[in-house]
Amino acid sequence: MKEKDTLGIIKQALDDEISSLVYFRENLDPSVKNCIDLILNSKGKVIVTGVGKSGDIAKKISHTLSSTGTSAYFLHPTDASHGDSGIVGPDDVVLAIGKSGESEELNYILPTLRKIGAKIVGITANSKSKLAELSDVVIITPVLKEACPLDLAPTSSTTIALVLGDAIAVALMELKEFKADDFALYHPAGRLGKRLSLYLSDVMRKGERNASIPVNANLEVILKEITEKGIGATGVVDENFKLVGLITDFDIRKYLTKHTLSPSVTAKEMMNPNPNHYLPNEKAYDVLINMEGRERPISVAPVVDENGIFVGMISLHDLLQKGL
């Protein structure tokens, strides 16, 4: 048996899919704009449906739309035939995906969805198909060649449908002026969501966990506060609780290199009077980058409000623990 070039086969499959994508882009059906207009003008949601491999693509498209500001759901045609079509409303837009456009399960439910009042957008490579006939808007997705050597298994065709779905989602994002803060609202748990949605006020040590001492505190009070709060530093405040300085382990060691340590030394003598500080409404990830990216990185910093009131302390360790 002749040895085959595995990498060559993979590269050919990639080339076939890339060339099909380029062909699709160069022959992009202008009806995609009608699809976008339907969704933008709709007061309902987007229902994405398909069977087999097209169904898998439909699921992904629905998830992408939902996470980027367009309410969308995946509806399996078989489930729709057994009651789940009740999820569809008269103001909805249905994206029905099928390369041949002749899948019986898919086409069977479309007349019912139209009777409900939903608009149908058919996404198919076959302009003369039953799917095209049953659709209010038809987007033709020509396939130059499936990557399958038999030109049978859905490969290039499913890639084209997936990319088209992504492009529709991106267009809707831009036209709706969907912002990073909106994205964070829908992605609160993952690392990306945390970077977009976590603020210092969510992460900083505050209240009883916040280390603070008066400006006239002696050495015993300083060391006790730093030790008990376990953050390696303490803020120094005046009688109005405004921040006037910061004492870290480093500041104590620095003081010792120039002075003899005396129990009567005060916080004012030992503190850094101009510490780097942040505001509670700053994004935690931005502060993490700033703390690490300085010429001399810092591991702890005070947080003050717009009036200079000391409201919390943030540490590099706390930020990293949040998975940023």
**Do 276 and 313 fall within a single domain?**
yes
pLDDT on residue 111: 96
Q: Same domain for 44 and 168?
A: yes
**Does the pLDDT value for residue 63 go beyond 70?**
yes
> Is 15 in the same domain as 126?
yes
Res 67: pLDDT: 85
Cβ atoms of 138 and 33 within 8 Å: the answer is: no
Domain of 237 in residue numbering reads as 200-321
Query: What is the SS3 assignment for 74?
Result: strand
Same domain, 146 and 235: no
When mean pLDDT is compared across 121-130, 191-200, 231-240, 241-250, the lowest value belongs to: 191-200
Asked if 160 and 30 sit in the same domain, the reply is yes
Residues 214-242, mean pLDDT to the nearest whole number: 92
Q: Is 76 annotated as a binding residue?
A: yes
Averaged pLDDT of the chain: 90
Q: Are residues 42 and 132 in the same domain?
A: yes
pLDDT band of 132, cuts 50, 70, 90: very high
Say if residue 130 is in the same domain as residue 168.
yes
Partners of 266 in the β-ladder: 218
Residues 316/291, Cβ–Cβ less than 8 Å: yes
- Give the confidence band of 191 by pLDDT, cuts at 50, 70, 90: low
Domain co-membership, 56 together with 122: yes
- Same-domain pairing of 213 and 156: no
On whether residue 186 sits in a domain, the answer given is no
CA 122/CA 50 separation, integer angstroms: 10
160 and 232: one domain? no
Quote the pLDDT of residue 210: 93
Q: How far apart are CA 101 and CA 55, in angstroms?
A: 13
Q: Are residues 205 and 277 in the same domain?
A: yes
pLDDT at 320 over 90: no
Tell whether 185 is covered by a domain.
no
What mean pLDDT do residues 128-154 have? 93
- Residue 299, domain CATH: 3.10.580.10
Q: Could you tell me if residue 86 is inside a domain? A: yes
Residue 193 binned pLDDT confidence (cut-offs 50, 70, 90): low
pLDDT band at 36; cut points 50, 70, 90: very high
The total of structural domains in the chain comes to 2
Q: What is the dihedral of CA 35, 37, 38, 43, to 10 degrees?
A: 140
Rounded Cα gap, residues 104 and 244, in angstroms: 75
Q: Which residues pair with 259 in a beta bridge?
A: none
- With respect to residue 188, please indicate whether it lies within any of the assigned structural domains: no
Residue 180 has pLDDT above 80, yes or no: no
CA pair distance 307, 240, nearest whole angstrom: 11
pLDDT for 181 equals: 67
Residue 244 has φ and ψ, to the nearest 5°, of -120, -10
Q: At what angle do helices 31-41 and 156-175 cross, to 10 degrees?
A: 50
CATH, residue 14: 3.40.50.10490
In 3D space, the residue among 57, 65, 67, 64 whose CA is nearest the CA of residue 92 turns out to be 65
CA nearest 110: which of 99, 101, 120? 120
Task: Give the DSSP letter string of 238-281.
Answer: -TT-BEEEEEEHHHHHHHHTTS---TT-BHHHHSBSS---B-TT
Same domain? For 83 and 142 the reply is: yes
Distance CA 280, CA 202 (A): 8
